[in-house]
Structure 1
Amino acid sequence: MEYRKFVHTFVVRLDRGDEILLSLIRLCREEGIRLASVTGLGAVDTVQLGVFDTEKKQYYSREYQGLYEIASLMGSITQKEGDPYLHLHMVIGNPHTGECHGGHLSRGVISATGELIITEIPGTVERREDEAIGLNLFQFHEENG
């Protein structure tokens, strides 16, 4: 991973073999990023995507291996108990095979390159577990507006 900071925006290049979530957590810790939006594209060869079942309150995930373009990567960076909390969704595709898959990103390994833009937002938003839904939701504090 290599990156540059421009005011409140990080331009990130992920390299072959970099795992997306681990790389972003490392960036957050190195740069003190507490709140941001994430967008990106690139190529992956191993991806784990999931969907949350609100009735059973559990994630179902599937791993994909092969040649995939990242058609869309987007999400948020917040905090949970003082640690970076990433909530990212991804759509991958292979026009040659006619495949397209999307969902909550649990793991993604770059096969060629990843180009991410992280836009830092001044402030902090925490996460709290909502037992009724079974997910970690935004928790706003008065000082955040």
Structure 2
Amino acid sequence: MDYKRFGDKIIARIDRTEEVQEKLKELALRENIKLASIYGIGATDDFTIGLYSVSKKDYKEKNFKGEFEILSIIGSISTLDGEYYPHLHISASDEEGNVFGGHLKSSKISVTCELTINIIDGIVERQKDEYTGINIYKFD
């Protein structure tokens, strides 16, 4: 991974064989990012998505292997109990043009991944929502 910061924006490149969630956390901790929006594109050969079931209060995970173009990675960084908390979604297409997407659990990069991170001056904590079981934004 390599990146360059321009004020409140970061342009990052995640390289072949690197995992998106791991590298994003590394970058966020290094740059002390508490709140940001993220978007990006790239290519992956191994990614796992989740679809959340409110009734089960759990994610059903599905893994994909092969050649996929990342059409978009989009999401946010916030905090939960003061700690780094990412929330990312991915959509990726296979060689037939089929598109798959969901909550990004993991993605190993096969070629490159280009991310733009817009840092927001502030902190928004998350808290568990008892009905859904997910960690939602909490505004004081």
2:42 alignment counterpart:
42
Per-residue CA deviation, residues 35-77 of structure 1 (Å, 9 max, x unaligned), is 0000000000110011101111110010000000000110010
2:71 alignment counterpart:
71
Q: Quick check: 1:131 aligned with 2:130?
A: yes
Higher mean displacement: 48-57 or 116-125: 48-57
TM-score by length of 2: 0.97
RMSD between superposed Cα atoms in Å: 0.8
Secondary structure in 1 matching 2:18: coil
Q: CA deviation at 1:10?
A: 0.3
Per-residue CA deviation, residues 87-143 of structure 1 (Å, 9 max, x unaligned), is 00000002x3232100000000000000000000000001101111110000112xx
Q: Aligned partners of 2:97, 2:123: CA distance in 1, in Å?
A: 41
1:52 alignment counterpart:
52
Secondary structure in 1 matching 2:4: strand
Secondary structure in 2 matching 1:62: strand
Q: Aligned partners of 2:82, 2:17: CA distance in 1, in Å?
A: 28
Aligned residues: 140
TM-score by length of 1: 0.94
Q: Which segments of 5 or more consecutive residues in structure 1 lack a partner in the other structure?
A: none
Q: Aligned partners of 2:13, 2:32: CA distance in 1, in Å?
A: 18
Secondary structure in 1 matching 2:28: helix
Segments of 4+ moved more than 3 angstroms: none
